[in-house]
Structure 1
């Protein structure tokens, strides 16, 4: 027969697995239990249970002179240590949060702290703090129209030519941000802008000399300057 027993020890603040020798007296056991339950020897009442949910104890270990084996304790039974005077040993207060003063921060104070999840996201540009250029963007089609090239813009009138110089090729913030636009500086003041739209500048020219059109309306080549007339088909 084994001279030791393995048991669960539970108290108001602890739960653990322990191994005791059966010849240990209850008085010696209480001294050991005080070390890890925090309950003074004089305040301990020890119940022997078959399991933690058992409402009725198998034994009450109330004779300090008796050895542990006297109570016929078996492996994996439960020693439930009750504190008969918790006001002096403060048991149960480690798990009782009802008396703990809650620490609360206003949204403004929380936003100013540097040790929060919010601050981490801001510093590393995560989630809603990600930079716009880090977000997925639609692919921009390749357009073979060189900057600085002379060009002619298609019009509805066969004999009417709008000529100028290519000053910008690329995506824009206007036009729903879809596709590529070509910015042109006309030879004459027949344009719509000065190279900027809605406060966003894409190139620089004199007022009414600038225009933005789709690439399919632009022909690049050796187009000399000639007199042209205004049309409102462009942006």
Structure 2
């Protein structure tokens, strides 16, 4: 194949390698020599430049030529957008060797040693009294959480299992049902009211994360906060969902 010069300053190609199973799409300057190009490929495929053999394939994956002239410009070869340059490694490394991160030695430090460092994020947070190291803010947050929990407990104590109710959650239409559960749960902090709706307007069957709190059909159960539940004489309404 005739080697010709191309005027476009850069070219976008796919890089593949005998060392891994994936391809990378990269843009390079056509003014790079093949020797310089190999050095840039070291960061892409992990193979030393001195151990590389380069092959050029067209966009249709047809073999064009080898890029074997170290002092030749990349643009002097018929490299165009969409072409693939395959790197054959001769260093002796095995396929996938640079993909298995479990083999990479990792730096580890004990909690005690990390606490002694003055240039760590933890040290900065402590000095600045930010986040969990701001004792005053944490105390205030805990007090507010305790207050909310006590308010929910008071609201929940006025709701009895078996009571008819109406749920008015923000942004949702009123829904009627029967109170089936009142109390704390494992799935989230605070007091919750388990409701069996009259129609399939819920999210569960009375169980969450594998734990059952009450019995009902699928999509008839829901857990809501006591503040959105009103108990009283709420007869069942026919929403006409069975006819849909």
Check whether TM > 0.5: no
Structure with max Cα Rg: 1
The TM-score with structure 1 as length reference comes to: 0.40
Greater helix content: 2
